[in-house]
Amino acid sequence: MSKVVKRVYGSAPLWAWIVMGVCVVVLVVGLIISGNRTAPTSTSSVANGMASTAAAPATPATVAFIDDAKANPSTPKTLVLLGDSTGADRDGWAPALGRSISRSLDRPVATKYWNTQTGAYGAMVGLGNGTNGAVGFWNGSAAGKDVDYTLQNLDKIIQPDVTPDLILLNFGHTEDPSKPLAPQVQPLINELRQKYPNADIAVIKQNPEKGADSSDQLSGYAAAMDAEGIQVIDVYSAFPTDEAALAAVMSDDVNPNAAGQRLWTRTVLAAFGLPEAQ
C-alpha cells in the first residue's frame, strides 16, 4: 500500500493527502486531479469565443482519450459528463463506462455525482482499482436541468482545480423539442472551448422519448457537430423505433430502464473502443 500511495502522490500532489486519509480505498484518489497538469492536445479550437468550423477529427475524441491513456499509463486522466437525468443513474451507463475504463486500462477510477438539491457533488464512489494513473470521472448530470443550468453552474460542476481531458455532453430531453438542438447546445460548447481549449468534446444523441416526435429537435444535429469536429455518439439509433418495443426499455417517458441502460452502455463502450463486461 505504501508503494501505491507514493506512486499516486508523485503523479498528482493536489489529492495525494486524500490517499493518506483513506488508504484502505486506493481507488478514490482518482477523482481530484491537479489543475496544473497538461491535458493532451485536442483538435478542438476556439477563435474569439466563437464555435470552431474544423472538420471532424480522424480519431474520435473517445478513442483518442483511451489511446492517450494507454500511451501514458502513469498520467492521471479526467473525464467530465454534463447532461440531464439520463446520465445520472448510479446503476446506469455512466458508471458502467467508468468500470470498463478501470478494467481495460488497469487504472483506479472514482466518480462523484452532482446533486441539484445541494448544488454540489456527493461523496466519492469507487468504480475500480488499478496500478496505473488514476482516472477522475466527474458526473455533472443534473436531473431535470438544461444547458442553461449547466452554464450557470459550470464553475461548480467543473471546479477550478479540475482540468478535463474529455467532456461528454448529454442533452436533448430537457431542451425545447420544437427547435433544433445544435443551436441550443452551442453556447455551452463555446464556453467549454474557451475555458478548456485542450479538452476534447463529444456529444451524445440521446435515446428517443416515448410517445414524442423528436425529428424537429434532432434535425441536422449530427451534421452540425461533425462540421465542428465534435464526435457524435449515436445512442438514439440503438433504441427501437416501434412504440411497444421502445416502452419495454423505458422506465418513464424519458429515462431508460435496466434494459435501456444496457443499450446505452453498449453504444457508449463501442464509441470508446471498450469491451462490455463479461
pLDDT digits (tens, 9 = 90+) for 247-266: 999 999 999 999 999 999 99
C-alpha cell at 92: 446506469
In angstroms, the CA 25 to CA 27 distance is: 6
Predicted confidence (pLDDT) at residue 182 exceeds the cutoff of 80: yes
SS3 content of the chain, % helix, strand, coil (to 5): 40, 15, 45
CA dihedral 141, 199, 96, 26 (to 10 degrees): -100
The pLDDT score that the predictor gives to residue 215 is: 82
C-alpha cell at 276: 462490455
Q: How confident is the model at residue 211 (pLDDT cuts 50, 70, 90)?
A: confident
The pLDDT score that the predictor gives to residue 277 is: 75
In angstroms, the CA 220 to CA 229 distance is: 14
Predicted confidence (pLDDT) at residue 271 exceeds the cutoff of 70: yes
CB 191 within 8 A of CB 151: yes
Report the mean per-residue pLDDT for the chain: 84
Closest CA to 32 of 43, 22, 45: 22
Predicted confidence (pLDDT) at residue 57 exceeds the cutoff of 70: no
pLDDT digits (tens, 9 = 90+) for 99-134: 999 999 999 999 999 999 999 999 999 999 999 999
Predicted confidence (pLDDT) at residue 52 exceeds the cutoff of 90: no
Predicted confidence (pLDDT) at residue 14 exceeds the cutoff of 50: no
Q: What angle do CA 61, 67, 69 make, to 5 degrees?
A: 105
Mean pLDDT throughout 242-246? Answer: 94
* Residue 156: how many other CB atoms lie within 10 Å: 13
Q: How confident is the model at residue 223 (pLDDT cuts 50, 70, 90)?
A: very high
In angstroms, the CA 234 to CA 211 distance is: 20
Q: How confident is the model at residue 55 (pLDDT cuts 50, 70, 90)?
A: low
Mean pLDDT throughout 241-252? Answer: 95
The pLDDT score that the predictor gives to residue 17 is: 33
The pLDDT score that the predictor gives to residue 205 is: 97
